[in-house]
A and B are shown apart, each in its own frame.
Chain A
Protein backbone atom coordinates (compact mmCIF):
# COMPACT_ATOMS: atom_id res chain seq x y z
CA UNK A 1 0.00 0.00 0.00
CA UNK A 2 2.79 2.35 1.02
CA UNK A 3 4.62 1.47 -2.19
CA UNK A 4 1.61 2.34 -4.32
CA UNK A 5 1.27 5.70 -2.59
CA UNK A 6 4.98 6.39 -3.13
CA UNK A 7 4.77 5.47 -6.80
CA UNK A 8 1.65 7.56 -7.44
CA UNK A 9 3.06 10.54 -5.58
CA UNK A 10 6.31 10.34 -7.57
CA UNK A 11 4.44 10.08 -10.89
CA UNK A 12 2.22 13.06 -10.05
CA UNK A 13 5.20 15.11 -8.83
CA UNK A 14 7.17 14.41 -12.02
CA UNK A 15 4.26 15.38 -14.25
CA UNK A 16 3.65 18.51 -12.21
CA UNK A 17 7.30 19.57 -12.53
CA UNK A 18 7.07 18.97 -16.28
CA UNK A 19 3.91 21.03 -16.71
CA UNK A 20 5.11 23.91 -14.53
CA UNK A 21 8.51 23.86 -16.27
CA UNK A 22 6.78 24.02 -19.66
CA UNK A 23 4.63 26.99 -18.65
CA UNK A 24 7.59 28.87 -17.15
CA UNK A 25 9.74 28.20 -20.21
CA UNK A 26 7.04 29.40 -22.61
CA UNK A 27 6.33 32.64 -20.76
CA UNK A 28 10.07 33.28 -20.52
CA UNK A 29 10.40 32.82 -24.28
CA UNK A 30 7.56 35.23 -25.02
CA UNK A 31 9.18 37.91 -22.84
CA UNK A 32 12.55 37.32 -24.41
CA UNK A 33 11.28 37.48 -27.99
CA UNK A 34 9.33 40.67 -27.34
CA UNK A 35 12.36 42.31 -25.78
CA UNK A 36 14.69 41.18 -28.54
CA UNK A 37 12.39 42.61 -31.19
CA UNK A 38 11.90 45.86 -29.27
CA UNK A 39 15.63 46.29 -28.72
CA UNK A 40 16.38 45.64 -32.37
CA UNK A 41 14.00 48.00 -34.15
CA UNK A 42 16.56 48.91 -36.79
CA UNK A 43 17.36 45.26 -37.36
CA UNK A 44 13.69 44.41 -37.83
CA UNK A 45 13.07 46.78 -40.73
CA UNK A 46 15.86 47.56 -43.17
CA UNK A 47 15.49 50.19 -45.89
CA UNK A 48 16.53 47.63 -48.51
CA UNK A 49 13.50 45.40 -48.06
CA UNK A 50 10.62 45.08 -50.53
CA UNK A 51 7.43 46.52 -49.10
CA UNK A 52 3.78 46.51 -50.05
CA UNK A 53 1.07 48.97 -49.08
CA UNK A 54 0.86 52.52 -47.79
CA UNK A 55 4.31 53.81 -46.74
CA UNK A 56 2.75 55.75 -43.82
CA UNK A 57 0.54 52.93 -42.63
CA UNK A 58 0.24 52.81 -38.83
CA UNK A 59 0.62 49.03 -38.70
CA UNK A 60 3.70 47.33 -40.10
CA UNK A 61 3.78 43.60 -40.62
CA UNK A 62 7.32 42.29 -41.00
CA UNK A 63 7.37 38.82 -42.48
CA UNK A 64 10.51 36.72 -42.54
CA UNK A 65 9.88 34.34 -45.36
CA UNK A 66 11.42 31.74 -47.62
CA UNK A 67 10.14 31.45 -51.20
CA UNK A 68 10.52 27.67 -50.98
CA UNK A 69 8.55 27.39 -47.73
CA UNK A 70 5.10 25.89 -48.17
CA UNK A 71 3.55 27.61 -45.19
CA UNK A 72 4.84 30.95 -46.50
CA UNK A 73 3.06 30.25 -49.77
CA UNK A 74 -0.13 29.38 -47.93
CA UNK A 75 0.10 32.56 -45.84
CA UNK A 76 0.77 34.96 -48.70
CA UNK A 77 -2.89 35.29 -49.81
CA UNK A 78 -4.01 35.39 -46.18
CA UNK A 79 -1.73 38.33 -45.41
CA UNK A 80 -3.01 40.11 -48.51
CA UNK A 81 -6.56 39.42 -47.30
CA UNK A 82 -5.83 41.06 -43.97
CA UNK A 83 -4.31 44.04 -45.81
CA UNK A 84 -7.29 44.32 -48.16
CA UNK A 85 -9.66 44.31 -45.20
CA UNK A 86 -7.87 47.36 -43.76
CA UNK A 87 -7.02 49.48 -46.81
CA UNK A 88 -4.19 51.98 -46.30
CA UNK A 89 -3.63 50.95 -42.71
CA UNK A 90 -1.13 48.11 -43.13
CA UNK A 91 2.30 47.95 -44.70
CA UNK A 92 3.99 44.63 -45.38
CA UNK A 93 7.78 44.39 -45.21
CA UNK A 94 9.29 41.20 -46.60
CA UNK A 95 12.51 39.94 -45.08
CA UNK A 96 14.31 36.86 -46.31
CA UNK A 97 14.97 33.76 -44.28
CA UNK A 98 16.05 31.35 -47.02
CA UNK A 99 16.46 28.33 -44.77
CA UNK A 100 15.63 25.77 -47.46
CA UNK A 101 18.51 24.42 -49.46
CA UNK A 102 19.03 26.47 -52.61
CA UNK A 103 16.36 29.03 -51.86
CA UNK A 104 18.88 31.87 -51.48
CA UNK A 105 19.36 31.57 -55.26
CA UNK A 106 15.63 31.97 -55.76
CA UNK A 107 15.68 35.03 -53.51
CA UNK A 108 18.42 36.41 -55.78
CA UNK A 109 16.09 35.87 -58.76
CA UNK A 110 13.32 37.79 -56.99
CA UNK A 111 15.65 40.63 -56.09
CA UNK A 112 16.84 40.81 -59.70
CA UNK A 113 13.19 40.97 -60.76
CA UNK A 114 12.77 43.91 -58.36
CA UNK A 115 15.35 45.84 -60.38
CA UNK A 116 12.97 45.53 -63.33
CA UNK A 117 9.95 46.55 -61.21
CA UNK A 118 8.60 43.04 -61.54
CA UNK A 119 9.02 41.88 -57.97
CA UNK A 120 5.44 41.15 -56.91
CA UNK A 121 4.32 39.48 -60.16
CA UNK A 122 7.50 37.36 -60.10
CA UNK A 123 6.91 36.42 -56.46
CA UNK A 124 3.32 35.47 -57.15
CA UNK A 125 4.27 33.42 -60.22
CA UNK A 126 6.94 31.57 -58.25
CA UNK A 127 4.70 30.91 -55.25
CA UNK A 128 2.00 29.55 -57.54
CA UNK A 129 4.48 27.11 -59.09
CA UNK A 130 6.38 26.37 -55.88
CA UNK A 131 5.77 22.62 -55.94
CA UNK A 132 7.40 22.37 -59.35
CA UNK A 133 10.68 24.17 -58.66
CA UNK A 134 11.05 23.18 -55.02
CA UNK A 135 10.45 19.43 -54.94
CA UNK A 136 11.34 17.63 -51.70
CA UNK A 137 11.99 20.85 -49.80
CA UNK A 138 14.98 21.84 -51.89
CA UNK A 139 14.81 24.82 -54.23
CA UNK A 140 16.30 24.36 -57.68
CA UNK A 141 16.92 27.69 -59.32
CA UNK A 142 17.26 26.09 -62.77
CA UNK A 143 13.60 25.13 -62.62
CA UNK A 144 12.20 28.62 -61.95
CA UNK A 145 12.80 30.22 -65.34
CA UNK A 146 9.93 28.48 -67.07
CA UNK A 147 7.51 29.93 -64.55
CA UNK A 148 8.76 33.50 -65.03
CA UNK A 149 8.14 33.59 -68.77
CA UNK A 150 4.65 35.07 -68.62
CA UNK A 151 5.60 37.85 -66.22
CA UNK A 152 7.17 40.19 -68.76
CA UNK A 153 10.69 40.28 -67.39
CA UNK A 154 13.93 40.48 -69.31
CA UNK A 155 15.24 37.11 -68.21
CA UNK A 156 18.61 37.59 -69.89
CA UNK A 157 19.21 40.72 -67.82
CA UNK A 158 17.81 39.00 -64.75
CA UNK A 159 20.34 36.18 -64.97
CA UNK A 160 23.15 38.73 -64.88
CA UNK A 161 21.60 40.89 -62.16
CA UNK A 162 20.98 38.02 -59.77
CA UNK A 163 24.71 37.56 -59.31
CA UNK A 164 25.33 41.15 -58.31
CA UNK A 165 27.19 41.76 -55.05
CA UNK A 166 24.44 44.07 -53.70
CA UNK A 167 21.93 41.22 -53.85
CA UNK A 168 24.38 38.87 -52.17
CA UNK A 169 25.00 41.32 -49.35
CA UNK A 170 21.27 42.00 -48.95
CA UNK A 171 20.64 38.29 -48.48
CA UNK A 172 23.58 38.00 -46.09
CA UNK A 173 22.24 40.96 -44.07
CA UNK A 174 18.76 39.44 -43.83
CA UNK A 175 20.21 36.11 -42.74
CA UNK A 176 22.34 37.85 -40.11
CA UNK A 177 19.20 39.63 -38.86
CA UNK A 178 17.35 36.32 -38.52
CA UNK A 179 20.06 35.27 -36.07
CA UNK A 180 19.87 38.54 -34.12
CA UNK A 181 16.09 38.29 -33.89
CA UNK A 182 16.20 34.53 -33.24
CA UNK A 183 14.02 33.74 -36.25
CA UNK A 184 14.37 30.00 -36.77
CA UNK A 185 11.21 29.13 -38.66
CA UNK A 186 9.35 30.60 -41.59
CA UNK A 187 7.15 32.43 -41.88
CA UNK A 188 7.86 34.48 -38.78
CA UNK A 189 5.70 37.56 -38.36
CA UNK A 190 6.28 40.72 -36.38
CA UNK A 191 3.41 43.17 -36.08
CA UNK A 192 4.67 46.60 -35.01
CA UNK A 193 7.69 44.72 -33.63
CA UNK A 194 5.64 42.28 -31.54
CA UNK A 195 6.55 38.74 -32.59
CA UNK A 196 3.78 36.27 -33.39
CA UNK A 197 4.61 33.38 -31.10
CA UNK A 198 1.49 31.24 -31.24
CA UNK A 199 1.62 30.52 -34.92
CA UNK A 200 -1.54 30.46 -37.02
CA UNK A 201 -3.85 32.58 -39.15
CA UNK A 202 -6.23 33.48 -36.33
CA UNK A 203 -3.45 34.54 -33.92
CA UNK A 204 -1.92 36.68 -36.68
CA UNK A 205 -5.24 38.31 -37.40
CA UNK A 206 -5.78 39.00 -33.70
CA UNK A 207 -2.31 40.51 -33.37
CA UNK A 208 -2.95 42.79 -36.35
CA UNK A 209 -6.40 43.75 -35.05
CA UNK A 210 -5.03 44.67 -31.63
CA UNK A 211 -2.28 46.76 -33.28
CA UNK A 212 -4.94 48.53 -35.35
CA UNK A 213 -7.01 49.24 -32.27
CA UNK A 214 -3.96 50.58 -30.47
CA UNK A 215 -3.11 53.02 -33.24
CA UNK A 216 -6.71 54.22 -33.47
CA UNK A 217 -6.70 55.07 -29.81
CA UNK A 218 -3.65 57.25 -30.15
Chain B
Protein backbone atom coordinates (compact mmCIF):
# COMPACT_ATOMS: atom_id res chain seq x y z
CA UNK B 1 0.00 0.00 0.00
CA UNK B 2 2.65 2.39 1.09
CA UNK B 3 5.02 1.62 -1.79
CA UNK B 4 2.34 1.99 -4.48
CA UNK B 5 1.40 5.38 -3.05
CA UNK B 6 4.99 6.54 -3.20
CA UNK B 7 5.46 5.40 -6.75
CA UNK B 8 2.18 7.11 -7.78
CA UNK B 9 3.43 10.33 -6.15
CA UNK B 10 6.71 9.99 -7.95
CA UNK B 11 4.96 9.45 -11.26
CA UNK B 12 2.72 12.47 -10.84
CA UNK B 13 5.79 14.45 -9.83
CA UNK B 14 7.53 13.41 -13.02
CA UNK B 15 4.47 14.38 -15.06
CA UNK B 16 4.27 17.74 -13.32
CA UNK B 17 7.96 18.27 -13.99
CA UNK B 18 7.52 17.45 -17.67
CA UNK B 19 4.61 19.88 -17.92
CA UNK B 20 6.62 22.66 -16.29
CA UNK B 21 9.60 21.85 -18.47
CA UNK B 22 7.44 22.08 -21.60
CA UNK B 23 6.06 25.42 -20.39
CA UNK B 24 9.66 26.61 -20.03
CA UNK B 25 10.42 25.41 -23.56
CA UNK B 26 7.49 27.39 -24.95
CA UNK B 27 8.54 30.51 -23.00
CA UNK B 28 12.15 30.17 -24.19
CA UNK B 29 11.19 29.69 -27.83
CA UNK B 30 8.88 32.72 -27.58
CA UNK B 31 11.56 34.82 -25.93
CA UNK B 32 14.23 33.92 -28.47
CA UNK B 33 11.69 34.45 -31.25
CA UNK B 34 10.84 37.92 -29.95
CA UNK B 35 14.55 38.72 -29.70
CA UNK B 36 15.03 37.49 -33.26
CA UNK B 37 12.26 39.76 -34.57
CA UNK B 38 13.55 42.73 -32.59
CA UNK B 39 17.32 42.43 -32.56
CA UNK B 40 18.13 40.42 -35.67
CA UNK B 41 15.38 41.41 -38.11
CA UNK B 42 15.30 44.82 -36.41
CA UNK B 43 11.53 45.14 -36.39
CA UNK B 44 10.87 47.84 -33.78
CA UNK B 45 8.53 46.53 -31.06
CA UNK B 46 5.44 48.65 -30.35
CA UNK B 47 4.28 49.49 -26.84
CA UNK B 48 1.94 46.50 -26.56
CA UNK B 49 4.72 44.17 -27.70
CA UNK B 50 6.86 45.49 -24.87
CA UNK B 51 4.16 44.72 -22.29
CA UNK B 52 3.90 41.18 -23.63
CA UNK B 53 7.69 40.84 -23.53
CA UNK B 54 7.66 42.00 -19.90
CA UNK B 55 5.36 39.07 -19.12
CA UNK B 56 7.13 36.48 -21.26
CA UNK B 57 10.86 37.04 -20.70
CA UNK B 58 10.87 36.48 -16.89
CA UNK B 59 9.22 33.06 -17.32
CA UNK B 60 12.45 31.80 -18.88
CA UNK B 61 14.17 32.39 -15.53
CA UNK B 62 11.29 31.82 -13.09
CA UNK B 63 10.16 28.41 -14.36
CA UNK B 64 13.57 26.69 -14.00
CA UNK B 65 13.49 27.73 -10.31
CA UNK B 66 10.57 25.29 -9.99
CA UNK B 67 12.33 22.57 -11.98
CA UNK B 68 15.47 22.27 -9.85
CA UNK B 69 14.48 21.05 -7.33
CA UNK B 70 10.91 20.24 -8.45
CA UNK B 71 8.58 22.74 -6.78
CA UNK B 72 5.04 23.04 -8.04
CA UNK B 73 4.58 26.33 -6.14
CA UNK B 74 6.31 27.95 -9.09
CA UNK B 75 2.92 27.80 -10.84
CA UNK B 76 1.61 30.34 -8.35
CA UNK B 77 4.47 32.70 -9.16
CA UNK B 78 4.43 32.25 -12.91
CA UNK B 79 0.69 32.24 -13.54
CA UNK B 80 -0.03 35.95 -12.80
CA UNK B 81 2.60 37.02 -15.36
CA UNK B 82 1.28 34.55 -17.89
CA UNK B 83 -2.34 35.63 -17.51
CA UNK B 84 -1.36 39.31 -17.76
CA UNK B 85 0.65 38.57 -20.91
CA UNK B 86 -2.28 36.62 -22.35
CA UNK B 87 -4.60 39.58 -21.78
CA UNK B 88 -2.19 41.99 -23.49
CA UNK B 89 -1.80 39.60 -26.41
CA UNK B 90 -5.56 39.12 -26.84
CA UNK B 91 -6.04 42.89 -26.71
CA UNK B 92 -3.32 43.29 -29.32
CA UNK B 93 -4.89 40.70 -31.65
CA UNK B 94 -8.27 42.44 -31.37
CA UNK B 95 -6.55 45.76 -32.11
CA UNK B 96 -4.86 44.37 -35.23
CA UNK B 97 -8.12 42.76 -36.35
CA UNK B 98 -9.79 46.16 -36.03
CA UNK B 99 -12.28 45.03 -33.38
CA UNK B 100 -10.89 47.66 -31.01
CA UNK B 101 -10.24 51.00 -32.70
CA UNK B 102 -6.71 52.34 -32.50
CA UNK B 103 -6.14 55.68 -30.88
CA UNK B 104 -7.07 54.16 -27.56
CA UNK B 105 -3.46 53.12 -27.05
CA UNK B 106 -0.33 55.23 -26.98
CA UNK B 107 2.19 53.97 -29.50
CA UNK B 108 5.90 54.40 -29.95
CA UNK B 109 6.76 57.04 -32.48
CA UNK B 110 6.57 55.51 -35.91
CA UNK B 111 5.46 52.10 -34.66
CA UNK B 112 1.69 51.86 -34.65
CA UNK B 113 0.50 48.78 -32.71
CA UNK B 114 -2.08 48.03 -35.39
CA UNK B 115 0.60 47.61 -38.04
CA UNK B 116 1.19 44.02 -39.14
CA UNK B 117 4.86 43.54 -39.82
CA UNK B 118 4.63 39.78 -40.23
CA UNK B 119 1.86 37.77 -41.79
CA UNK B 120 2.58 34.10 -42.39
CA UNK B 121 0.06 32.02 -44.35
CA UNK B 122 -2.14 35.09 -44.48
CA UNK B 123 -3.21 35.09 -40.85
CA UNK B 124 -0.32 34.35 -38.46
CA UNK B 125 0.80 37.64 -36.90
CA UNK B 126 3.24 38.23 -34.04
CA UNK B 127 0.47 38.99 -31.50
CA UNK B 128 -1.36 35.83 -32.57
CA UNK B 129 1.80 33.83 -31.89
CA UNK B 130 1.91 35.49 -28.47
CA UNK B 131 -1.71 34.51 -27.71
CA UNK B 132 -0.96 30.92 -28.70
CA UNK B 133 2.23 30.81 -26.59
CA UNK B 134 0.60 32.34 -23.50
CA UNK B 135 -2.41 30.03 -23.85
CA UNK B 136 -0.21 26.92 -24.03
CA UNK B 137 1.79 28.07 -21.00
CA UNK B 138 -1.38 28.76 -18.97
CA UNK B 139 -2.72 25.32 -19.86
CA UNK B 140 0.53 23.58 -18.95
CA UNK B 141 0.86 25.47 -15.66
CA UNK B 142 -2.71 24.65 -14.63
CA UNK B 143 -2.22 20.98 -15.54
CA UNK B 144 1.05 20.89 -13.60
CA UNK B 145 -0.73 22.39 -10.60
CA UNK B 146 -3.54 19.81 -10.74
CA UNK B 147 -1.09 16.93 -11.23
CA UNK B 148 1.16 18.10 -8.46
CA UNK B 149 -1.64 18.53 -5.92
CA UNK B 150 -2.96 15.01 -6.46
B-binding residues in A (CB < 8 A)? 3-4, 6-7, 10-11, 14-15, 17-18, 21-22, 25-26, 137
Contact = CB atoms under 8 A, between A and B. Distances in A.
Interface stretch (B35-43, B73-81, B135-143): B35-43
A191 B36 CA distance: 29
Given A4-B68, A7-B64, A18 B17 contact: no
A15 B60 CA distance: 13
Contacts of B32: 14-15, 17-18
Given A7-B24, A7-B64, A25-B40, 15 more contacts: A3-B21, A3-B67, A6-B21, A7-B67, A10-B21, A10-B25, A14-B29, A14-B32, A15-B32, A17-B32, A18-B35, A18-B36, A22-B40, A25-B41, A137-B109
Contacts of A137: 109
Q: How large is the interface on B (under 10, 10 to 19, 20 to 34, 35 or more residues)?
A: 10 to 19
A106 to B, nearest CB: 18
Main secondary structure of the interface of A (DSSP, over half): helix
Nearest to A22: B40
A21 B24 CA distance: 21
Contacts of B15: none
B4 to A, nearest CB: 23
A6 B21 CA distance: 9
B12 interface: no
B32, B64, B68: which has the most chain A beta carbons within 10 Å? B32
B28 interface: yes
20 contacts: A3-B17, A3-B21, A3-B67, A4-B68, A6-B21, A7-B24, A7-B67, A7-B68, A10-B25, A14-B25, A14-B28, A14-B32, A17-B32, A18-B32, A18-B35, A21-B40, A22-B36, A22-B40, A25-B36, A25-B40
A17 B28 CA distance: 12
Q: What 6 pairs between A and B have smallest CB-CB spacing?
A: A18-B32, A22-B40, A14-B28, A25-B40, A14-B32, A10-B25
Nearest to B39: A22
Contacts of A10: 21, 25, 28
A10 B82 CA distance: 21
A162 to B, nearest CB: 25
A26 B36 CA distance: 11
A11 B28 contact: yes
A15 B67 CA distance: 19
Contacts of A21: 36, 40
Interface string B1-42: 000000000000000010001001100110010011000110
